Amino acid sequence: MPIRKSNTRAAQGSGTIRQRPDGRWEARYTVGRDPGTGKQVQKSVYADTQAEVRKKLTNATKNIDDGTYTDPSKLTVGQWLDIWLLEYTPDLKENTRISYETQVRQHIKPALGAIRLTELSKHTVQKFCNDLQRKEKPLAAKTVKNIHGVLSKAMSQALGLEYIRSNPCFKAKLPAIEKETIRPLDENSVKAFLDMIKGHTHETLFKVVLLTGLRQAEAMGLTWDAVDYKRGTIHINKQLIKEKKKGGAYKLTSPKHDKSRTITPAPSVMRMLKDHRRQQMEWQLKAGVSWDNDMNLVFTNEIGRHFAHNTLSNSFKRVAVKIGLPDNTFHDLRHTYAVNSLEIGDDPKTLQENLGHHSAAFTLDVYGHVSERMKEASAERKEHYIQTVLRGA
């Protein structure tokens, strides 16, 4: 497609920036001279905006000046992955970026790193995904899907830059992911659980999760400024996550999927939090200068420090074992809230918003195994309708 000459302008460094008839911006730059003809060899980078293409041009010419430039047609998959991680993932959440780097380092580069980027085929990607499940210790289907997803994102970026003609990850056949087994507590188990945690260190936290459906990290990262007693609401706008690196610290980040939400729990939950606030203030007075709650967390130990994920998980597990539920996990408190909400008549859309799921369809997929009580209630409603219709016939 011809370049619109009227939009040609000088660029920073050795290159020019032009806008194409399709609206995209192209920057052309010289990478050297053909040793046979002596003519300049030029390459192009593309972007949707002038500012973005100028940035790409600056990076390319800098690499040429530094002697680190590699012709895209000669890049290996490994080299491209290094570039992609460095230049195209800085805006990701830190833990997500670390996860990408780990998958690239441990799985993708060892298997595919030496292949030319332009020569990576769909068949090679398919074999790579299959081999991940043929290991002595096969990877879980979800892990395989995640690794494939990272590779696909990198290839999509290469496609957008026109380094490759198509994404070789497209339409790969991935292993089916088995649905997570959920074990919501029934009414008797809930009563036994509540009896067992009376006076427990984590009693209020456990109760709040059970009655609101918060994720573990959301409960750990709940701060007092997010609790609105006047409106009777809780704003879920952060979570407490440990950095995925050796010696990583706990830090507050945005919620899962960057999806904040405001929930309106039962009034009894708000009263629990008021009582807990008074308890925490007593701890603070007792601890004095040792008090350490700079993040203003709702749930802390007696000197204001946050809980660790494994501390809460293990604490719940010990209680679950005592009441005869050795297979249950902390996350089943959230499942219990969800199932109970459906059983008392909450509609799926409301439940989706309360749980912070990305769609009501996902919520129904997770909790579509309608409980026996819900089936019985449905049958009773239908019978009432039938009898009403018959009486009117």
**214 shares its domain with 91:** no
**286 shares its domain with 310:** yes
pLDDT band at 299 (very low <50, low <70, confident <90, very high): very high
Task: Write the DSSP assignment of 176-229 as a string of letters.
Answer: PPPPPP-----HHHHHHHHHHTTT-TTHHHHHHHHHH---HHHHHT-BGGGEET
Q: What's the pLDDT tens digit per position in 21-53?
A: 888 888 888 766 655 566 666 777 788 888 888
- Greater pLDDT, 95 or 145: 145
| Predicted pLDDT at 70 | 60
**197 shares its domain with 302:** yes
Q: DSSP secondary-structure letter at 326?
A: T
**291 shares its domain with 339:** yes
Residue 385 lies in a domain: no
Q: What's the pLDDT tens digit per position in 136-187?
A: 889 999 999 999 999 999 999 999 888 899 999 999 999 988 877 889 999 9
Count of structural domains within the chain: 3
| Predicted pLDDT at 3 | 41
Question: Taking residues 229-248, what's their average pLDDT?
Answer: 91
**103 shares its domain with 28:** no
**248 shares its domain with 304:** yes
Residue range of the domain that includes 112: 77-160
**230 shares its domain with 277:** yes
Residue 175 lies in a domain: no
pLDDT band at 370 (very low <50, low <70, confident <90, very high): low
**191 shares its domain with 255:** yes
pLDDT band at 71 (very low <50, low <70, confident <90, very high): low
| Predicted pLDDT at 389 | 83
- Greater pLDDT, 284 or 41: 284
Residue 326 lies in a domain: yes
Residue 336 lies in a domain: yes
Residue 386 lies in a domain: no
- Greater pLDDT, 99 or 380: 99
Cα(342)–Cα(246) distance, integer angstroms: 41
**254 shares its domain with 141:** no
Highest mean pLDDT (candidates 24-28, 71-75, 93-97, 216-220): 216-220
**22 shares its domain with 150:** no
Residue 165 lies in a domain: no
Residue 86 lies in a domain: yes
Q: What is the dihedral of CA 224, 226, 231, 232, to 10 degrees?
A: -70
| Predicted pLDDT at 69 | 55
Last residue of a domain, which of 69, 100, 124? 69
**248 shares its domain with 359:** yes
Q: Count CB neighbours of 236 within 10 A.
A: 24
| Predicted pLDDT at 174 | 94
Residue 14 lies in a domain: yes
| CA-based max dimension of the chain | 97
- Residue 125's CATH number: 1.10.150.130
Last residue of a domain, which of 160, 195, 223? 160
Cβ distance 288 to 143 under 8 Å?
no
**231 shares its domain with 365:** yes
User: What is the rounded radius of gyration, in angstroms, for the C-alpha atoms of the chain?
Assistant: 28
Q: At 106, which amino acid appears?
A: Q
